[in-house]
Structure 1
Amino acid sequence: MGSCPAPFSDIGRRARDLLTKDYNYDQKFSLSIPSSTGTGLTATGVKKDQYFFGDISTQYKSGKATVDVKVDTYSNISTKVTYDVLPGTKAAISFSVPDNRSGKLDLHYFHHHANVNSSIGLNPSPLVEVATAFGSKDVAIGGEIGFDTSSLSFTKCNAGISFNKPDFSAALILTDKGQSVKASYVHLVNPLSGTEIAAEMTHRLSGFENSFSFGSIHKVDPLTLVKTRFSDNGKVALLCQHEWRPKSLATVSAEYDTKAINVAPKFGLSIALKP
């Protein structure tokens, strides 16, 4: 629904995506093969140092049901079945093999002024999580809680508010079970070049510590973009992404720690193909 608020997890996402999305300091390759019959296949491989990790996932859609299956290099099989129960309501069951305690039931309900996500583990001592957001696509306020029935303790208890417009987005989140406050802001500087700047600051109430990052994104041309990021810990990051064919991306990332001059910069390459 166009006026429905985004899920609570999307509060502050526009700034997080600008500052962190697509940055990668390993070698990554992915191939996605869509199909008009409702079946899609994606293969992903990542080389980190001397180790290689990979997985193959497939998605099948039929009517109101969607089935996702993923197999990784350790022979773990993850399955998720999603079904549109009613208009505005979805239910999903997921589990992994051989982990017999990984079963989980998710429910997602969205309305014109509400967006609710909940999950419960399908085991004798489940983890229960609920996240809600109320408002509209422009202004939303919400919170999330997680409760571990095995230890009778809260695993998360967060709240946030966001303001979103085409030319800016601002968010304030109380996180770490009330121990930290995170504020973020994104501003569209030039709509023609797609130039945006973003800043994110975290204040830890317990230790009175502050950390911050700020970055930018700029489209060199319709197919190429450049991102930068600077953090208070002295790390500087740069990313260049080029769409060399429709929906196929090549991304080069680099990061340098100005406080560790004897440590070599990090470099990463990511190739994503979608025929």
Structure 2
Amino acid sequence: MYGEVSTKVTVNDIFHSTKAALSFSVPDHKSGKLDVQYIHPHAAIDSSIGLNPSPQLELSAAIGSKDLCLGAEVGFNTTSASFTKYNAGIAFNKPDFSAALLLVDRGQALKASYIHYVDRPDGFTIATEITHRFSSFENRFTIGSSKLIDPHTVLKTRFSNDGKAAFQVQRAWRPNSLITLSGEYDPTKIFSSSTKLGLSLALKP
């Protein structure tokens, strides 16, 4: 028999607009973590460090407004003295569209995305995403859409340049309860089934 007790202690406003949280589990003495957050109307900083002999340090920051936002995150392993992640991005938002440019996978890939909200009664939305990997010069293109079939049912589709296709139909059959039917076709899977179908039910009181 194994038991574990998780504890989290939060202190608000240790400095102006700053919050700190200490979390740990008993008896796991390596589970301790300290999180510090600073939140401002136009900026936010979130940092965490593991409270163990080989702590992992993570830091993320964002600055901007409702129209333009810049952000970055880094992860550092103190044992190996190496960065485990470093990503950065910029996003531009307007009432009818959103665009973003992201440097991800520790600077190994550049990702651009665009979402357009079409002014139609069915709430039709179309999105595209292009990813370029610098090491292999590989480009990946994905396009997706979302629309209301009726006030309680949403249809989503996704297609990519490697032949993958997927769909999802989600219906709110009562308040806070969803039933979802999804399917995916992947022609790259030669030795396993290339088609998947799924059905899920979420119930909330």
Same fold (TM over 0.5): yes
Matched, 1:110 2:48: no
Q: CA deviation at 1:186?
A: 0.5
1:149 corresponds in structure 2 to 78
1:26 corresponds in structure 2 to none
Q: CA deviation at 1:143?
A: 1.0
Does the 8 Å contact 2:31/2:50 carry over to 1? yes
Letter of the aligned partner of 1:85 in structure 2? N
2-structure distance, mates of 1:187, 1:273: 31
RMSD after superposition: 2.3
Query: Which structure has the larger Rg over C-alpha atoms?
Result: 2
| Compared CA separation, residues 91 and 207, structure 1 to 2 (3 A) | same
Does the 8 Å contact 2:102/2:112 carry over to 1? yes
1:160 corresponds in structure 2 to 89
Mapping for residues 1-275 of structure 1, pairs under 5 Å: 79=6, 81=8, 83=10, 85-86=12-13, 88-96=17-25, 99-260=28-189, 263-275=193-205
Does the 8 Å contact 1:117/1:130 carry over to 2? yes
Q: CA deviation at 1:158?
A: 1.3
2-structure distance, mates of 1:186, 1:225: 17
2-structure distance, mates of 1:80, 1:139: 37
Letter of the aligned partner of 1:267 in structure 2? L
Q: CA deviation at 1:253?
A: 0.9
| Compared CA separation, residues 139 and 123, structure 1 to 2 (3 A) | same
Bigger mean CA offset, 242-251 vs 79-88: 79-88
Does the 8 Å contact 2:5/2:27 carry over to 1? no
3-state secondary structure, aligned to 1:274: coil
Q: 5+ unaligned residues in a row in structure 1: which ranges?
A: 1-74
| Compared CA separation, residues 99 and 192, structure 1 to 2 (3 A) | farther
Cα deviation, 1:201-237, whole Å, max 9, x if unaligned, reads 1101111111121100001111110000112222110
Q: CA deviation at 1:259?
A: 4.4
| Compared CA separation, residues 223 and 115, structure 1 to 2 (3 A) | same
Does the 8 Å contact 1:159/1:175 carry over to 2? yes
1:68 corresponds in structure 2 to none
2-structure distance, mates of 1:217, 1:181: 25
TM-score normalised according to structure 1 size: 0.67
Cα deviation, 1:167-216, whole Å, max 9, x if unaligned, reads 11111011112111011110001352111011111101111111121100
Aligned residues: 202
Q: CA deviation at 1:91?
A: 2.6
Does the 8 Å contact 1:78/1:94 carry over to 2? no
2-structure distance, mates of 1:198, 1:78: 44
Bigger mean CA offset, 257-266 vs 214-223: 257-266
Q: CA deviation at 1:97?
A: 5.7
- Report 1 or 2 for greater relative contact order, CA contacts < 8 Å, sequence distance ≥ 6: 1
Q: CA deviation at 1:84?
A: 5.6
TM-score normalised according to structure 2 size: 0.88
Q: CA deviation at 1:137?
A: 2.0
Does the 8 Å contact 1:171/1:185 carry over to 2? yes
